[in-house]
Chains A and B, each alone.
Chain A
């Protein structure tokens, strides 16, 4: 396995993305807006001495930071479908497969390409989010709320695992769907379970605290490994050329 080849493929995709306005907008703009909009809600409603307890405040912020997980899953499908179905539609997959590159190197390159831009953008968004929240709450709390363990687990485990889930789903979808938009729309179904978790958190059925995040991560890890297996079966030279319709 030559990792540099995967990187060559991913870099090529980055150059292609840079020429696509829709990709740039969704990947950069949405997390950015979220990182400003969410603290704004907190600022205007939450902390204006309206008697919110620290616990309530923490739970509100936990569910807000979970938004970024949903975003990680959702943005990655957009890019993954684009990167794979794009090659299929432009028929550039055949000359690519004709190079001395293994299926795994190509799959990994495509996964890098779909994973890195959204996750980086999410990290930047989360960074802005944390700084803004800290700025707004320092005077009331007397300490910096962020960084904390909860957000650390989101950054290190939950968001990347959600994004990987999306990449794998994107690979599997691309083998069955021939239209970028259709794949992107189907891919958005991935946010349903995450929204479910979010709602359960909101109605207080589960907490979105450290323990839940760890459990969610463990579940996603298992699903990721399973989908990884499926996606490597789907992503075989011969399948791609003869069965991907």
Chain B
């Protein structure tokens, strides 16, 4: 991996508000074109982290670089802000102004020229299905529509990196999907995306990498890695009836752990492909009637709950 591919590089980053430690020694990195999901309960420090990385608030200690620029350097912080787009947890539109004017205002502040502004505003408003409503005051929009405008606002200057703080929290399932699809489109354009979310399903669907935060960073990895880290493989076998003979036979196999209830055995296995046939053979030997065999796979939710508890 080339170093210059790392777009967000965070090392031992901490933030204290007085006595409260909001973010504690967090280390992770996000590569170019990756979607990084930041999961964590309320008050975990997600928003605080995003604000530090967007150069809105200062760090207490540690280091972070965005596309090679130092978040703690005043000159760099302007460059960083130009390079990133931020969708904050509160949309914060100017309610009296039209959708178009809201976007145009930000286009100017992001130093886009007139043509770029016109093209991008039309492009994003059409993409989000709001072009027809461009002259309607933002205050008259629904929460979901406002959220979409806030996303368009963050993209108006075609940033390399996009920070989204719980972007689908107010949206109906259809709009959420639209936002997710939109994020996937951006990913195709090699944009780097940092997504704060509570929504495990969403994280699983679109994130390449996930960090689980609870003031400290409890775990990072791909969704699969995190799921796998919860427990090993488990095999579930439904029998017609569990009896002592079957259990005796299984105990001879020196398996790690066997739980049974309602004639259902849940067995910890190390290598299911090799062990499952042996287990089933043992059961059959003991006269057991196997109804079905399934694998029990941990979900991201299991991983999440394990790490935040």
Assess whether A15 is in contact with B57, with CB atoms less than 8 Å apart. Answer: no
Contact of A94 among B82, B84, B90, B97 (CB under 8 A): B90
Taking the closest CB of chain B, its distance from the CB of A130, in whole angstroms, is 35
Assess whether A100 is in contact with B81, with CB atoms less than 8 Å apart. Answer: yes
Taking the closest CB of chain B, its distance from the CB of A241, in whole angstroms, is 6
B-side contacts of A90, CB under 8 Å: 92-95
B68-98: contact bitstring with A at CB < 8 Å (1 yes, 0 no)?
0000000000110110101010111111110
Question: B153 in the interface, Cβ–Cβ < 8 Å?
Answer: yes
A98-122: contact bitstring with B at CB < 8 Å (1 yes, 0 no)?
1111100000000000000000000
Assess whether A237 is in contact with B57, with CB atoms less than 8 Å apart. Answer: yes
Question: A12 in the interface, Cβ–Cβ < 8 Å?
Answer: yes
Bound Cα distance from A198 to B8, whole angstroms: 60
Which A50-100 residues have C-beta < 8 A from chain B? 90-100
Question: B292 in the interface, Cβ–Cβ < 8 Å?
Answer: no
Assess whether B97 is in contact with A16, with CB atoms less than 8 Å apart. Answer: yes
Question: A19 in the interface, Cβ–Cβ < 8 Å?
Answer: yes
Bound Cα distance from A24 to B285, whole angstroms: 91
Assess whether A92 is in contact with B93, with CB atoms less than 8 Å apart. Answer: yes
Question: A48 in the interface, Cβ–Cβ < 8 Å?
Answer: no
Bound Cα distance from A16 to B93, whole angstroms: 12
Assess whether B92 is in contact with A92, with CB atoms less than 8 Å apart. Answer: yes
Assess whether A238 is in contact with B56, with CB atoms less than 8 Å apart. Answer: yes
Taking the closest CB of chain A, its distance from the CB of B205, in whole angstroms, is 26
Contact of A100 among B90, B95, B109 (CB under 8 A): B109
A2-24: contact bitstring with B at CB < 8 Å (1 yes, 0 no)?
00010011001001100110000
Residue among A12, A16, A99, A102 with the most chain B CB within 10 A? A99
Taking the closest CB of chain A, its distance from the CB of B225, in whole angstroms, is 32
Assess whether B94 is in contact with A99, with CB atoms less than 8 Å apart. Answer: no
Assess whether B153 is in contact with A95, with CB atoms less than 8 Å apart. Answer: yes
Taking the closest CB of chain A, its distance from the CB of B130, in whole angstroms, is 17
Bound Cα distance from A186 to B92, whole angstroms: 26
A-side contacts of B153, CB under 8 Å: 95
Assess whether B92 is in contact with A93, with CB atoms less than 8 Å apart. Answer: yes
Bound Cα distance from A93 to B82, whole angstroms: 17
Taking the closest CB of chain A, its distance from the CB of B97, in whole angstroms, is 6
Question: Do A102 and B78 contact each other (CB < 8 Å), given the known contacts A8-B105, A94-B56, A242-B17?
Answer: yes
Assess whether A99 is in contact with B109, with CB atoms less than 8 Å apart. Answer: yes
B-side contacts of A15, CB under 8 Å: 96-97, 101
Which B146-161 residues have C-beta < 8 A from chain A? 150, 153-154
Bound Cα distance from A56 to B201, whole angstroms: 82
Question: Do A95 and B150 contact each other (CB < 8 Å), given the known contacts A12-B94, A16-B96?
Answer: yes
Question: B54 in the interface, Cβ–Cβ < 8 Å?
Answer: yes
Question: B229 in the interface, Cβ–Cβ < 8 Å?
Answer: no
Question: Whose C-beta in chain A lies nearest to the C-beta of B48?
Answer: A242
Assess whether A94 is in contact with B88, with CB atoms less than 8 Å apart. Answer: yes
Bound Cα distance from A5 to B82, whole angstroms: 14
A182-220: contact bitstring with B at CB < 8 Å (1 yes, 0 no)?
000000000000000000000000000000000000000
Where the two chains meet, the residues of A that have a C-beta atom closer than 8 Å to any C-beta of B are 5, 8-9, 12, 15-16, 19-20, 90-102, 237-238, 241-242
Q: Which 5 A-B pairs have the closest CB atoms?
A: A91-B90, A92-B92, A91-B92, A19-B96, A100-B82
Instruction: Beyond A100-B79, A241-B57, list 7 extra A-B contacts (CB 8 Å).
Output: A8-B105, A12-B101, A90-B92, A90-B94, A92-B93, A95-B86, A99-B110
What are 25 A-to-B residue pairs whose CB atoms are below 8 Å? A9-B109, A12-B94, A15-B101, A16-B94, A16-B96, A19-B137, A20-B96, A90-B92, A90-B94, A91-B91, A91-B92, A92-B92, A94-B86, A94-B90, A95-B153, A95-B154, A97-B56, A98-B86, A99-B106, A100-B78, A100-B79, A100-B109, A101-B109, A237-B57, A241-B56
